[in-house]
Chain A
Amino acid sequence: KQEVTQIPAALSVPEGENLVLNCSFTDSAIYNLQWFRQDPGKGLTSLLLIQSSQREQTSGRLNASLDKSSGRSTLYIAASQPGDSATYLCAVITQGGSEKLVFGKGTKLTVNP
C-alpha cells in the first residue's frame, strides 16, 4: 500500500529565505507526482506535475525534483514571500492503483514579513 509522508509538518521562515519541502513515498512504481498548494478554506491548486520519467520541473520560483528510486521528492521555493504562506501537499499516482492520488498530510508554510 502506497504511503506518502511529508516533512516537516509545519515550517515558519522569514521573508526572502529559500526553503525546501520534503516528500517521501514507499512504492516507487508511480506514474507521476504532483505538488499542490492549499490556502485555508480553499481548494487545491496544482503547482507542478513530475512524470515518473522526469527528474525535475520548474515554474517561476518553484522547482520540484523527483528521485523515484529512493522514493523522494523535494519542492524548492526561492526567495519566499508572505503570499507563499499556505499548506503544500504532495501526492502520487501509483501504477496499477486505480489512478487515485495518494496524498501526504501536507506541510503548513508560514512566511513572515
Chain B
Amino acid sequence: EAGVAQSPRYKIIEKRQSVAFWCNPISGHATLYWYQQILGQGPKLLIQFQNNGVVDDSQLPKDRFSAERLKGVDSTLKIQPAKLEDSAVYLCASSLDGASNTEAFFGQGTRLTVV
C-alpha cells in the first residue's frame, strides 16, 4: 500500500515570497490533515478535511495561508506571503475516517526555510 506522498521535500524561499505544498493521501482515506511542526515542538493542526469539506481550520492563519482539497483526494497548502516564523516542517496526514478514531498516517513532510 502506497503511503502519503508529499512534495517538495525541501524548500527555501525569501520572506514575502509565496510557496505551495502538495499532498497525495492514501487511496480511499476520507480525512486529510495539514500540520505545522516547528523544530522541537509537536505538530500543530492547521486544517482538517473530510473528503473535500473543511472540518476545522481554526488554527490556520487565513491572512496568509490557504488550503484546498479538490475532488476530495489531493490537497495543496499555500503560504502567501511567507514570514520568517513560517520556517517549519509541514506534515500531511490521512486517515480512513476521521470520525471513527482510526490512526493517521503521515507523509515525510516538507521542510520550509524562510530567509
The reply to whether chain A is a binding partner of chain B is: no
